[in-house]
Chain A
Amino acid sequence: AQSVAQPEDQVNVAEGNPLTVKCTYSVSGNPYLFWYVQYPNRGLQFLLKYITGDNLVKGSYGFEAEFNKSQTSFHLKKPSALVSDSALYFCAVRVGASKIIFGSGTRLSIRP
């Protein structure tokens, strides 16, 4: 079955430190991978995507993600966390022609 997993419900990081939010996937063929962020009481916003090409993709708000085919992972990273990065983060994968499925979400908390 095609799926995407986020093994951590919550990640806590001190402001200024690097952060990583983990994601692994299981899909047939070449994956289309995405990260979305949801701020409180808001809809989801697109952060970045990987379709093909360079394994390191850069996105909005200084975030980047590394595609690792051998480990079937697509971890989200940022070199220096901000308090304003605190939000709910979803990894997602495209399955079939148009359907997107989402991971369970990771709540990122950045302490001052």
Chain B
Amino acid sequence: SAVISQKPSRDICQRGTSLTIQCQVDSQVTMMFWYRQQPGQSLTLIATANQGSEATYESGFVIDKFPISRPNLTFSTLTVSNLSPEDSSIYLCSVEKTGNTGELFFGEGSRLTVL
């Protein structure tokens, strides 16, 4: 299994500011995934982050709004820029279990509230 630590666990931000979420994994992984989950709702994939290359963004998500860094095989950050109340969500980092099984491990999430 993989242990994933996310920081911050929650934050309250003012509109127009930015928040950077950190994701640390206890083992080296090729791909890291960032999801958004609005309270009580489903998960939506924002982007896939590979080490050494630009992240791959899903439809409806753009790099200017959600810049991602992936400096090494155990760490990634997601920034949510120019915050608006619509960005209030839980942001989840996840990695795939070794062996290309499709099974994902998730961090506990970062709950963002934008005022």
Contact = CB atoms under 8 A, between A and B. Distances in A.
Interface string A24-44: 000000001010100001111
A104 interface: yes
A42 B37 CA distance: 12
B42 A105 contact: yes
Give the dominant DSSP class at B's interface: strand
Contacts of B104: 34, 36, 44, 46, 100
Q: Count chain B CB atoms within 10 A of each CB in A32, A41, A43 and give the residue with the most.
A: A43
B92 A43 contact: yes
Given A44-B92, A98-B96, A99-B48, A49 B103 contact: yes
B108 A42 contact: yes
**In the complex, which range does the number of interface residues on chain A fall in?**
20 to 34
Nearest to B97: A46
A28 to B, nearest CB: 16
A92 to B, nearest CB: 8
Contacts of A13: none
Interface in B29-51: 31, 33, 40-45, 48
Interface of A: 32, 34, 36, 41-46, 49, 51, 88, 90, 94, 98-105, 107
17 contacts: A34-B102, A41-B108, A42-B109, A43-B107, A44-B106, A46-B104, A46-B105, A49-B102, A88-B40, A98-B48, A98-B100, A99-B45, A99-B48, A100-B33, A102-B42, A103-B42, A104-B41
